[in-house]
Amino acid sequence: MPDPLTVFGEMSIPLLISNLATLIGFLLATYFATSYTEKFYGERPKPKSWLFIIAGLVSICIAEVGEFLSPYIFLSLDFTALLTQSIILSAQAVGVILIVGGCFLLSKEIV
């Protein structure tokens, strides 16, 4: 794997930091959503809305790990790189759909 600190010239370090910040942000969001539901609902059953949101955040975290590494993996476009990129995009799409579905269920709980 190429050196992430030099592969893109002057943009290497800002790209690495921005990708890392995004990954850390989604990991923290997943942690806080999980700890919120555990503390708020305790032993009671958790609503599907929060389970969907947490599952969506986990899926996006998986996609973000791939996106964190992708600038360095995909310098050459071959079948493996394209397959990996489609898996990353699929994980991200599933995550977004789950979060939107969870938010929809949350809105139905209020009405």
What is the residue extent of each domain of the chain? 9-110
- Cα–Cα dist 4/71, whole Å: 9
At residue 76, the pLDDT reads 66
In this predicted model, what pLDDT tens digit does every residue of 56-97 receive, in sequence order?
A: 999 999 999 988 877 766 666 788 878 888 999 999 999 999
Which tokens is 13 given?
């370090």
Model pTM score: 0.84
